[in-house]
Structure 1
Amino acid sequence: MLSGPGEEALAGAFRISSVEKVRKQRGRYFIYREGQEEPVLSVHEDMLIRFRLLKDAWVTEEDLRLIETEDGRHRAYSQAIAYLGAKPRTRKEIERYLARKELDEETIRETADRLESERLIDDADYAKIFTSQRAGSHAKGRMLIRQELIQRGIGKSEAAEAIEAIDPDMEREAAIKAAVKRWPSLKGELRERRRKLAQFLTRRGYPSGVVREALKTVATSQEDNDGLDWLDN
């Protein structure tokens, strides 16, 4: 920052005429340039203190670019932290969210890198927790869970590792529970009801072997089981 009026002759330098709070934006301030009615920029109060942006202080064009860059980083990080406050997120979800805020790619990348270094986002841990929840209380099969992980930006190797950790017994029990709950609401002849149930379980991402076991539990008679051969195809 420039400190005295003797520097005024430097190209692009200006003196701050006033600093005012931004209404409805907590912690942000408008910086006004001498001779102009409109603010030259708005900054967070942390930038105000860091760069000593007080009335009568002098600012060069180089200072201004640095302040804008640092304020953008601060804004991106604060927005990302707020977004993470609702629930865990993947790196890709953070990047998409910040892109919607019209932040530049470099700032977004730097923010995501910082969050990873601080362990505030961890795609591998996210994949494991997400998979456990979906396979358990949400009664979803491994194929659908894998698809959901990929959609959230989890890498294929991390998604595969998380899927491999699913307990086969837990998955089978969840599928059977879902099948038993769904069965009474299905309409039609017995074979049609079985087909609808199989389609329901398949849509939830269960492998054909798990679907077969769930159907056998619901269709307990030998006559019922005779109609399951189509699942082998």
Structure 2
Amino acid sequence: MRITKLEKKKRLYLLETDQDNQVYITEDTIVRFFLTKGKKINENELKEVIQFAQFSNGKNIALYYLSFKKRTKKEVETYLEKHNIDPLTISEILHKLQEEKWIDDQDYVQQVLFQNALSGDKGPQALRQKLYQKGISKHIIDACFELEEFEEIAEKVAQKLHKKYLGKYSDRALKEKVKQGLLLKGFDYKDADKALEKLEWVQDEQEQETLLNKELDKAYRKYSRTDTDYSLEQKIIRFLLRKGFDYDKIKRALREYL
């Protein structure tokens, strides 16, 4: 058979033969097989052209996806599936991209850890979960995390949380709030507790008294509508204890308030 048309169509080329074959191929395919209009080509050669064109097109799609930022193997695989690339061809593309270091899940994990250490605020559990969702295997994650330390990051996050909540909670509640924040960000109890030990927890006495009176007033307005006398006092006390205030200080403030 003979090639009767080789015409550019946006990012691909349309190849037609005198036996009514129509194939969309890449520029790489043209170069690889020295394709030109009028060239003779047999069935086996056409089959090779089609197979390589599928591979070349899929690889170009993957490289376009990778051009924006680093991706995991699973992310690229999913992207190619959405573009209807044949599963066998996807496997070949992924293998080639890994060979050429366009895809490297271990390096991806190491970059995530580096960025987190530099400017992030996530603990190991949160990062592990994120990487699992990206399709990275457990053994790669474990190997990269083995020597990673999170104490300094936990201390940095604890300082930010402490500053954020300072003056808004009692000493005890402030400590609980900071610890809860660290755990929610994926730090383990060990690193969280070490970070808490580095902070100053005794707040200004006058500020604490002002905060207590503010919360007391809030509790009174909430419960005085339905409760009176002993019942009202007990509900206010329980409310303030949940806020982390000291019992004796609550009783003293109540005597002055009621």
Q: CA deviation at 1:141?
A: 0.3
TM-score under structure 1 length normalisation: 0.74
Displacement after TM superposition at 1:159 (Å): 0.8
1:126 aligns with 2:119: no
Give the TM-score taking structure 2 as reference length: 0.68
- Give the equivalent residue in structure 1 for 2:201: 220
| 1:126-205 alignment, distance < 5 Å | 126-183=108-165, 194-205=175-186
1:61 aligns with 43
Match of 1:73 in 2: 55
Q: CA RMSD in A?
A: 2.9
1:53 aligned partner, one-letter code:
L
Question: Is the CA contact (8 Å cut-off) linking 1:183 and 1:218 kept in structure 2?
Answer: no
- Superposition deviation, residue 31 in structure 1: 1.3
Give the residue type in structure 2 aligned to 1:85: S
| Equivalent position amino acid for 1:206 in 2 | F
Gaps (5+ residues) in structure 2?
209-243, 245-258
Aligned residue for 1:177, secondary structure, equals helix
2:151/2:191 contact within 8 Å kept: no
Aligned partner letter, 1:64: L
> How much does 1:20 deviate?
1.3
1:207 and 2:184 are equivalent in the alignment? no
Partner secondary structure for residue 86 of structure 1:
coil
CA gap 1:101/1:217 in 2 versus in 1, 3 angstroms: same
- Out of 66, 90, 99, the position equivalent to 2:81 is 99
Aligned sequence identity (%): 30
**Residue-by-residue CA offset, 1:78-132 (whole Å, 9 max, x unaligned):** 2222222222222222212222221112111111111222223222222122122
Deviations 1:11-33 (A, max 9, x none): xxx332222111x32xx211123
**Partner deviation per Cα, 1:135-189 (whole Å, 9 max, x = no partner):** 44111001111111211222212211222222243233233234235425x9666
Where does the alignment leave 5 or more consecutive residues of structure 1 unmatched? 1-13, 228-233
Count how many residue pairs are aligned between Structure 1 and Structure 2. 206
Look up the match of 1:16: 3
Instruction: State the match for 2:65 in structure 1.
Output: 83
Which structure: larger Rg?
2
Q: Secondary structure at the match of 1:29?
A: strand
